[in-house]
Structure 1
Amino acid sequence: MPAATDTIELSIVMPCLNEAETLATCIDKANGYLERSGVVGEVVVADNGSTDGSQEIARAHGARVVDVPAKGYGSALLGGIEAARGTYVIMGDADDSYDFSNLDAFVERLRAGDQLVMGNRFRGGIAEGAMPPLHKYLGNPVLSWVGRVLFRSPIGDFHCGLRGFHRQSMLDLHLQTTGMEFASEVVVKSTLGGLRVTEVPTTLDKDGRSRPPHLRSWRDGWRHLRFLLIFSPRWLFLIPGTVAFLFGLIGTLALAFGPVVFGDVGFDLSSQVYLAALTVVGYQSVLFAILTKIYAQHEGFRIPRSRNFDRLERRISLESGALLGLALFLVGLAIAIWQFAVWAAADFGPLEPGTTARTAVLAALFMMLGAQTVMAGMFLGVLKVGLRKE
């Protein structure tokens, strides 16, 4: 342990939940690295409620134990990071899958000014049996690719558990998530926040525990994906939804006046029905993008804002949504009433099927869009209710 008068440069933080089998090995490797390298540092074990004696093992091997009552991988790490005394933090799992005795590359990049240094297991080497095939060939590559595309991140391994960062820079990001998606939040917020982000090769060995890992593939994979979606409504929902809405609406309106022919290809009633459905789906996607961004900001996720969105957010409310939705609904209702009047004028006899159906599709479309807008406005009202948070 460093002397009380020493300035601690590096805190090595390990989240812990019943890691008695491997914790001592990890702490010994970390302390061995500090002794060999001459880095003034400490080992912090962020215990998340272990019942197997992990706390006593950690103290016996020279680590400082921080009790974190709030459950979850992210909660444990946040507690450890907040309690750390070092300028830099390197975090890693306490299952002996990461080599805490070889942290030189991380410290070198941190000292050079990088604010987040990610390990890349695919570049450094994955031992046989260390990563399930589902994670190695599908989960990690796909989620990392999604993160790179949506956020223009340079990181090739979003979910590597061994990573280093400038402690205060990370605290300034106001990290929020408490579960496994914390791994994605660190990378995404660092990228969006303009931090200097790099990665170095690291290795992954087989988990040293005899029990199954805490990770649940499908549940935690979905939580990572859900987090990425919350942070990327523009490219995932807003732009595709706008294109679908405009294409569908223009097509539906054009076919309301009769068939449309392009060369040898003709479009009529069935095409109008599908285009109306596309309009509804696109409109719902646009609404979802707007509501998701407002929700994310309301919950404290610091997403980059734009002036256009700020102006839009100031103008939309439960009342404005209700008025716009009512107007759209009344347009559809007016078309339906006009169609009913035409039917009444014909003594409620048979009408020309094609013309009648095309008009009915148009009326139904506007009424659906109106109802969607009203409900979105009501949901927005729920989001904007001021609540006291503990």
Structure 2
Amino acid sequence: MTDVVLPCLNEAPALAWLLKRMPAGYRPVVADNGSTDGSVDVARSFGARVVIVPQPGYGAAVHAGIVAADPADGVVCVMDADGSFDPAELPLVADPIRAGAAHLVVGRRRPVGRGVWPPHARLGNAVLAHRLRHTTGLPVHDIGPMRAAYRNDLIALQLQDRRFGYPLELLIRAARAGWTVTEVDVTYLRRTVGTKSKVTGSVRGTARAIRDMSVVLAR
């Protein structure tokens, strides 16, 4: 059984659809970061494991979920909980890990429909990805909100960022550790009605994420 960490902050409208589409062999771990909209109740009603994460921040939620994942299987996936990714595509990132083809697989977003990925967010991601390729040589074009790796390997990297810089720090440390990092295309959907991205949903959110990631790059 492969655990799927879903960092969550007020994603109740999306969770029902997302959890219904979780493929066989994949078990959701909802890392709740202080939701006030009933997200925890929705997650539990679908049988998902819920991990309460008092420390605020995307990285804090992801890290807590990974630590809580069952080490018996080994592979762990991470995916946003806002309905922008289809859980049916999780094998795209998990299967290459199981096959030994990569240490880390990152989903490259391919938006479906107009307005799915706002220009300010796409530009910010492109700039960061370009700097990452130049700095590390990793062949990636997305900072990867959907990804998979072995749980123990992720913990061994000792990532420190607990904010939006977490995904970038993961890629940088993976490169320094000599990991093979592979990128695969994944569908990027319009978010469920009633949810709003903490990053791409506003220019301010994107600027905050870029600031956090820039701090990581500056290290």
User: Does TM, normalized by the shorter one, top 0.5?
Assistant: yes
* 2:111 pairs with 1:145: no
* 2:214 pairs with 1:225: yes
SS in structure 1 at match of 2:127? helix
* 2:44 pairs with 1:59: yes
Alpha carbons 1:117, 1:200 under 8 Å: kept? yes
TM superposition shift of 1:126 = 4.3
Gapped regions of structure 1 (runs ≥ 5): 1-7, 231-390
How many residues of Structure 1 are paired with residues of Structure 2 in the alignment? 211
User: Which is richer in helix?
Assistant: 1
TM superposition shift of 1:211 = 4.6
State how 1:198-237 maps to structure 2 within 5 Å.
198-215=182-199, 216-230=205-219
Aligned mates of 1:126, 1:146 — CA distance in 2 = 26
Q: Say if 1:117 and 1:62 are closer, same or farther in 2 by CA, change over 3 A.
A: same
User: Which is richer in strand?
Assistant: 2
Alpha carbons 1:44, 1:64 under 8 Å: kept? yes
Alpha carbons 2:12, 2:42 under 8 Å: kept? yes
TM superposition shift of 1:99 = 0.7
**Over 6 Å off, 4+ runs:** none
SS in structure 1 at match of 2:188? coil
SS in structure 2 at match of 1:22? helix
Aligned mates of 2:76, 2:113 — CA distance in 1 = 25
TM superposition shift of 1:190 = 0.8
Cα offsets for 1:278-297 (capped at 9, x unmatched): xxxxxxxxxxxxxxxxxxxx
Aligned mates of 1:171, 1:58 — CA distance in 2 = 25
- Structure 1 vs Structure 2: percent identity of aligned residues? 36
SS in structure 1 at match of 2:11? coil
RMSD of Structure 2 on Structure 1 (CA)? 1.3
Aligned mates of 2:76, 2:189 — CA distance in 1 = 22
SS in structure 1 at match of 2:35? coil
SS in structure 1 at match of 2:89? coil
Aligned mates of 1:166, 1:119 — CA distance in 2 = 16
TM superposition shift of 1:51 = 1.4
Alpha carbons 2:32, 2:52 under 8 Å: kept? yes
Q: 1:87 aligns with which of 50, 61, 74?
A: 74
TM superposition shift of 1:210 = 2.4
Cα offsets for 1:134-179 (capped at 9, x unmatched): 122x211111000010111121212x21111111111100011011
Taking structure 2 as the reference length, the TM-score comes to 0.92
Gapped regions of structure 2 (runs ≥ 5): 200-204
